Each structure stands twice: as structure tokens, then as C-alpha cells.
Structure 1
Amino acid sequence: MEIVGLPTPVFCGVDWAEGHHDIALVEAGGKQLAKVRISDDAAGFAQLTALLTEHGDSEDAPIPVAIETSRGLLVACLRATGRPVFAINPPAVARYRDRHSVARKKSDAVDAAALANILRTDMAAHRPLPADSELVQAIAVLARAQQDAVWARGQAQNKLRSQLREFYPAILDAYAQHKHGLCSREARSILAAAPTPTMAAKLTRRRLQSLLKQAGRVRGIQTEAERLHEVFKREYLHQLPQVETALGHQTSALLRQLNTACDNAEQLEEAVTQAFAEHHDAPIIRSFPGLASLTGARILAEIGDDRTRFANARSLKAYAGSAPVTRSSGKSCMVMSRKIKNQRLAAVGYVWAFVSLTRSPGARAHYDRRRAAGDRHVAAQRNLFNRFMGMLFYCLQNGHIYDETIAFPQPSPELAAAAA
């Protein structure tokens, strides 16, 4: 029975593409109100907003929108208007489509209607995109780009190292114990000047000192030059001269890729740390042991600053992948590590937990207890990360900085004596 006087809810589905988007509007009863295709430009967005306004969209009661992506100009403009935007996983849309058609037909218009119907029937089961501030959205862009640059740098280093193993073992021996390996400025400077082992063997001590200075080294230059000179003068197996020259040209090309990757990672790190310092949550996040500006920025980028995004600490832990997941059926019950999670947040979580072992006595004691109880290293780290995420949720919700005595309280002397 329709209640007179109350507006009928309307739901919008958007099937996006590179050059156009299909729009479908559906009412609460399932009737399709509109079906239109818009262009991927300002005129198309104006057409969409006009269509929504025509069907009752207002500032107080915006029409929710479902779309299969959380990125792009269309999503950014929809979020800027303040309306709830739901990013639905494409496999979920495909399964929902099969509920209404056994013929497995598919079209952009059908997908748009399926998205609208998902909100109509199951909106409570999905979460809208968080209402993060503009600053934290910028931090997310920079932090993810910097993390991608670090991964690209690792790939470029591995490619170069694999190439050098074919004909240039001297440079690998020279920097086998270096903290940054081939990514160090000194190694890249020497490789640029001597891309083949024959050229490296001809480097004089004075030339090596000059290269080290160009790379930014200020201490122990003469000693390091002597060490490198001795390494490059050792006896090694060699490729044929023309083959070695060709491999040297290939090495120079790979070195240029590595230089670009290193520069990108450094520049993006500087940008993200500057943006992170401007955010009001930065002092709270940096107060935790094991978190610095870069790792703290990565944490903030993934959890955002919308305080209503996570209902409780358990939701945040599940999102980070630190909380275990239980699979129970009949007499079978298994507790397993969570596979579906925010991979970027989980990656920085293991770094956070590892570094905290030398920064927090309480964290170290907690890790040791888990290891003594039978956990492996990764499981103990994940458990510690899980505990930190609960503390972080509480601190951010209440505006408190980290307190070691509250986070890892020491047992009273009576309890300690009883335990002994």
C-alpha cells in the first residue's frame, strides 16, 4: 500500500565506460523510471544531475548512486555534490544480474539497471564511499603513488641485478653488503661511469673518489675508494669483448630506468610527508611506536578521516586484514588469516609491527608472548598489528595520543609474584 504524502525513494545505477556512461533510475517498487546514456564530459555530468533533480534529488534527500568503480572524474564529481556513492564490486554485479536472467544476456543498460536494483534491495549490505576531507584524498593519491614507485624501484633493481649477474659480478660483490644495494647513489654513479667490468677495472683511485663525492658521500671516501679499487681488480670470468660491450649498453638502459624509479620514489616521499604533516591526525598517528611520517601517511591514506566509516574497532581490523576470519560448518570450525583485505594497509602494517619491536617494550613483550605460545613470526606480527589497529581506532575517535602505559599495562607486583 502506498503511503500518500511521502516521496517514493529513487535509486540510480551508473554503468561507466571510457567514452560514455549508461544511467538507470529505479523506484522502490522496482519500476524503471529512466534510462539514458550520457557522455564522459561536463555536459554529460550536467545531464545526469538534471535527471536526478527531475526525479526528486535534493540537498536534504540526495538520490544514492551505485557504480562499479571508486575512481575517476565522474565519481569525484558525484562525491563533491555530497550524495552517497556506492562502489559495487563488478563480480557482485555479475552475480546479481544472473538472479534476473537465465539467458545470461548482458548490456550496458542492463548493468546500470542491475546496479540501481542492488541499492533498492540490498543498500544496507553495502557501504558508501567515505566522506574524507580533500586533504586526506590528496594524501591517499600521493601515498599510493609513492608506494607504487617503491615497488617499481624494486622491480627495476631486480632487473638490473639479473642483468649484472650475466657478466658483471664485480659490482654485485662491491655492494652485496650495502643497505640499499644497487639503489644506492654510489652504486648507480659507478655503474653510469663504468657499465662493464673492463671499464670498472680501469677506474683509478682518484676517479673512484670523485665518483663517490658526486654521489654525496662525505666520510671515508679514500677508504671506500681503496676497497672498490681492490674489488674491481680481482679476477673474474668475462664475456667476449663485443658481447660485453653490448651488455654494457643494455645495462645503461636498465640503469636509466632505475634512476627514474629512485627519483620518483624520493620526490613522492617528500610530497606525501609534507601533506601528511598538515593533517590534524598526524600527531596522533606519529605518536605510535614504529610509525614515522611516510608509514603514518600510508595508514591515514587507507583509513581516511571520516569517523563514521568504521562502526567499531573490529570493522577497522577486518578492513586491515589483521583480524582472523572464522569458517564454521557443522562440526568443522577453522580460524584462518584474512585474505580479502586492503593490501596496501596490510603491507604497511607488517612494517609497523616489525619496527615497533625495537621502539616499544610492551610491543616486544607481546610479540615474545605470542611466539612462546606457538605463533610463527608472521602470525605474531599480525596479532601485534591487530592490537595496534584497535588502539589507533580508539585514539583517533577520542583525539588521544598513544600512551605506552595504557597500551601495554604492566602487571601488578602481586600478580607478577603469583605468576612466578
Structure 2
Amino acid sequence: MLIARIRLVNRQLKQAHHQLDALTARLIPTEEAEPGQTKQHDVEILASLPGVGRIVLARLLAEAFDALQRRDYAALRSLTGVAPVTKRSGKSCIVVRRQACHDRLANAMYHWARVAIQHDLSSRLKYAALRSRGHSHGRALRSVADRLLNVACAMLKARATFNPSLATQKTSC
């Protein structure tokens, strides 16, 4: 009886993934902007980033649509929880994690950064450098996520997809 339930859940999960892929594919325009040149769309640009899968892509498009349309890096940092909060009082200065953020976006950013450090060399190097300086796992992942948001905003402004060879060249310089 348990095996039948697990098969049902797996089948429903596959159907949900197919529906999500179909919905994001509908967001990609099929017509050309000018003859001979295709205009890069936000969905294609975000999907090209390392670590962005179907769930993270759908979460970004659904929860942070306005900030993505405006290419507002500061708003994206605040919404996703990667922007730190500085608390000052007298001579003390404490930098802590932002609690006032969108929980689902913060979770998506965590997974985006986690997968990016597994598949992207520059993200892996940044994570390793932060960890060697004594940062915690979560703090290092938030810094990687912050860099990824900055790259995403720059790519959206430039209307260009992610090119891993350019990222590797800039890392080695």
C-alpha cells in the first residue's frame, strides 16, 4: 500500500514539473524583435544563470516580478534577505542577517546559492574564500547569493545570457 502511494506522489510531482516547465516556456516570446536578431527575454536570461532551476526560476518570477522588471538590485537584496542589517548604538556596531524578508524568496536564494557553489567556479571560489575567513555556512551562502543577484541584474540590464567562459576569465584575472 505504501509503494502505491509513493508512486502516486512521484507521478504527481512529475506532472507538476511538466506544468511548471510549460508555464515558464509560455513566458518566452517566440517572435523576433528585429529581423535576424532575437531579443533576450528575462526568463531565458534568469534560466541561464548557474544554480537556477525550475523551482527557483518560478519563485523569482512569481514573488519578485516587480523588482526584476525594474532591475532594482537593492529591492531584490531586501526582498530575498541577502542584504545585511547594521545595528548601531553608541560604540557598538553589529551586522546581522535580515529577518524582514520574503521567506519563500530567502529559501529560493539559499538553494540557488547552494547549487551555484556546486556548479560554478567563481561562486565556489567566493564561498571558499569566505569560509576560510571564518564566515559561517549561511553567511557565506548569503554573500554568494548577493553576488548572483548582482550578476542577474547586470545581465538583465545588458539583455545577455550567462556566459561561463567570461565568468572564468574574470575570475582568473
TM, length-normalised to structure 1: 0.35
For the pair 1:383 / 2:140, whether they are aligned, the reply is no
- The 3 A distance-change label for structure 1 pair 380 and 406 is same
Match of 1:266 among 2, 7, 14: 14
- The 3 A distance-change label for structure 1 pair 307 and 282 is closer
Match of 1:283 among 25, 29, 44: 44
For the pair 1:304 / 2:69, whether they are aligned, the reply is no
Aligned partner of 2:56 in structure 1 is 295
For the pair 1:369 / 2:129, whether they are aligned, the reply is yes
How far apart are the structure 2 equivalents of 1:336 and 1:282? 32
The CA deviation at 1:358 is: 2.4
- Structure 2 letter corresponding to 1:290: G
The CA deviation at 1:262 is: 5.0
How far apart are the structure 1 equivalents of 2:77 and 2:56? 17
- Structure 1 letter corresponding to 2:18: E
How far apart are the structure 1 equivalents of 2:158 and 2:69? 10
What secondary structure sits across from 1:345 in the alignment? helix
Is the CA contact (8 Å cut-off) linking 1:285 and 1:392 kept in structure 2? yes
The CA deviation at 1:265 is: 3.8
Bigger radius of gyration = 1
- Structure 1 letter corresponding to 2:100: I
Where does 1:381-420 land on structure 2 (aligned, <5 Å)? 381-404=141-164, 406-407=166-167, 409-412=170-173
The structure in which a higher percent of residues are helix is 2
Match of 1:319 among 64, 70, 79: 79
Aligned partner of 1:333 in structure 2 is 93
The CA deviation at 1:263 is: 4.9
- The 3 A distance-change label for structure 1 pair 406 and 323 is farther
Supply the RMSD in Å over aligned alpha carbons.
Answer: 2.4
For the pair 1:349 / 2:112, whether they are aligned, the reply is no
How far apart are the structure 1 equivalents of 2:112 and 2:143? 12
The CA deviation at 1:380 is: 0.9
Q: Alpha-carbon deviations, 1:77-129, whole Å to 9, x = none?
A: xxxxxxxxxxxxxxxxxxxxxxxxxxxxxxxxxxxxxxxxxxxxxxxxxxxxx
Q: Alpha-carbon deviations, 1:185-230, whole Å to 9, x = none?
A: xx942xx5xxxxxxxxxxxxxxxxxxxxxxxxxxxxxxxxxxxxxx
The CA deviation at 1:259 is: 6.6
Which segments of structure 1 move beyond 6 Å, counting only runs of 4 or more?
Answer: none
- The 3 A distance-change label for structure 1 pair 406 and 324 is farther
Report how many aligned residue pairs link the two structures: 158
Q: Alpha-carbon deviations, 1:232-258, whole Å to 9, x = none?
A: xxxxxxxxxxxxxxxxxxxxxxx5xx6
Q: Alpha-carbon deviations, 1:42-94, whole Å to 9, x = none?
A: xxxxxxxxxxxxxxxxxxxxxxxxxxxxxxxxxxxxxxxxxxxxxxxxxxxxx
List runs of 5+ in structure 2 lacking aligned partners: 28-40
The CA deviation at 1:365 is: 0.7
How far apart are the structure 1 equivalents of 2:93 and 2:157? 34
How far apart are the structure 1 equivalents of 2:11 and 2:120? 33
The CA deviation at 1:293 is: 2.7
The CA deviation at 1:273 is: 1.4
The CA deviation at 1:359 is: 1.4
How far apart are the structure 2 equivalents of 1:292 and 1:302? 15
List runs of 5+ in structure 1 lacking aligned partners: 1-186, 193-254, 413-420
Higher relative contact order (CA 8 A, sep 6+): 2
Where does 1:196-215 land on structure 2 (aligned, <5 Å)? none
- Structure 1 letter corresponding to 2:23: A
